[in-house]
Amino acid sequence: MAVEETDTQVIITNPSDPNSSVTILKYGATVISWIYKGEEKLWLSDDAKLDGSKPVRGGIPLVFPVFGKCKDASHDTEPLPQHGFARNSTWQFLGQVTESPCAVQFGLGPEDVDQELYKKWGKGRHDFTLVLTVTLADDTFTTQIEVENTGASTFEFNWLFHTYYRVEDVTDSLVTNLMDSTCYDQLLATTYQEKAPMLSFHEEFDRIYKKVEEEKHIQIVDKGKVLVTLERENLPDAVVWNPWIEKSKGMADFAPKLGYMNMLCIEPGHVADFITLTRGEKWIASQKITPFGEIRVQTDIYSV
């Protein structure tokens, strides 16, 4: 069977390759595993809580309606906790939508969110439907989100796929095609133009790359081999994160303690500013991940 549902999760197996599968936890509709040809591609902490007691440390947590902690006291999302409420709500499994490639959907509405938490967003007046579609094709894995404003009040939100990739050694990993983008370094609290043709990782890293052109495919390259080619639709910003030693030590659910060496987050989103949806409007975005590729150098000046 290509799609198997248990009480807590949904597993999709590629009918043409039993060694390729995706596991999605209903809690947070969090993808917790993507195995391609027998190899796990996502990083999941050994101490990640999968029982709904806190957001999952690893896989692909979903960030909505706010990225980080909103610092603008007058904004609707300000009372919400870091990264909002989608990653810590249990989504409804809506079923399989296509057979080939195999795709499943999950839905979230205000009724699925802890009411105390939900009321922190615009005093509970925003009505919305989120539909997540997870598609496992032979050589690609796609997560797509549709946000619909089903209420009377206009709302503003951020979206982000907080994707944790598994890498063999992060000090050997390079990330391409963010050169020339405007970057906000969250650790230094400064904005500058990225000049490095490839990013490398030797210390804590937490940056938001803004308005990265859709034609640019962000890649993770390890010793000349492309581990990930990432295509984005409607997700102009990309957060790149590695907590390194001290920060990961401070996270109770982060294990093993040297795990930061084996992970790298590339998080496509719309976080540099808010998306506005008026009554009845819909917004759709997706990330498509290919676990290989040719190295492509795409700068603002030339593209190879």
Ligand X SMILES: O=P(O)(O)OC[C@H]1O[C@H](O)[C@H](O)[C@@H](O)[C@@H]1O
Q: Measured from the CB atom, is 56 or 277 closer to ligand X?
A: 56
Amino acid making up residue 101: P
Q: Which two tokens stand for residue 162?
A: 């907080």
| Measured distance CA(227)–CA(293) in Å, rounded | 8
Distance CA 95, CA 192 (A): 44
Was 125 annotated as part of a binding site? no
Convert residues 247-286 into a mask of x (bound to ligand X by CB under 6 A) and - (unbound): ------------------x-x-------------------
Q: How far is the CB of 139 from ligand X (least distance, A)?
A: 27
Hey, which residues are catalytic here? 162, 267
| 241 touches ligand X (CB under 6 A) | yes
Give how many residues touch ligand X by CB under 6 A. 9
**Which of these, 31, 45, 135, 121, lies nearest to 83 by C-alpha position?**
121
Q: Which is nearer to ligand X, 35 or 265 (CB)?
A: 265
- Phi then psi for 156, rounded to 5 degrees? -120, 140
* Alpha-carbon gap, residue 86 to 29, rounded angstroms: 8
Is residue 82 near ligand X by the rule CB under 6 A?
yes
Please, which residue, 84 or 110, has the CB nearer to ligand X?
A: 84
One residue of 96, 186, 234, 299 binding ligand X per CB under 6 A: 186
Q: How far is the CB of 148 from ligand X (least distance, A)?
A: 26
Q: Which residues lie below 8 Å from residue 24, measured CB to CB, with a gap of 6+?
A: 9, 10, 11, 12, 30, 31, 32, 104, 106, 134
> In angstroms, rounded to a whole number, what is the distance separating the alpha carbons of residues 299 and 103?
34
Question: Which chain residues interact with ligand X by CB under 6 A?
Answer: 55, 82-83, 186, 206, 239, 241, 265, 267
Binding residues: 57, 82, 87
Binding residues for substrate: 57, 82, 87
